[in-house]
Amino acid sequence: MTAKQLTEIGERLVKRCGTRDPFEIARQLGAEVLFCPDFGSMKGMYRVVKRNRFIFLNRDLTPQMQRIVCAHVQRIVCAHETSQAKSRAE
C-alpha cells in the first residue's frame, strides 16, 4: 500500500463521515477507542474481540499524537479490509 493510496482512503473516510476528527470517525465506523497504560513503545493497535472493534491507544502520548495514531490505525484497517474485499471478489 502506497502513501498515495492511504491518503485516498483517508479522504474517503473524511467525506463519508463528514469530519476530520479521527475519534468521531472511529465512532461512526463502530470502533471504540480505549486509552491504555503500560503500552511500552507501542503507540496504538486495532483488534476485533467478539465482533466488537477496538482501537487501543497509548495514553502517555500527547493529545496531538493520539489523534495522529488513531487516524493512522483507521487508514491501515480500511486498507486491509479493502484489499481483503478485492481478493474475495477475484
Instruction: Give the per-residue pLDDT at 18.
Output: 94
pLDDT digits (tens, 9 = 90+) for 44-65: 999 999 999 999 999 999 999 9
| Three-point CA angle 27, 23, 31, nearest 5° | 35
Residue with cell 485516498: 8
Instruction: Give the per-residue pLDDT at 38.
Output: 86
Chain-centre distance for alpha carbon 89: 24
For the chain, list residues with pLDDT below 70: 1, 80-90
Q: Which residue spans within 1-90 are E strands per DSSP?
A: 31-36, 44-49, 52-58
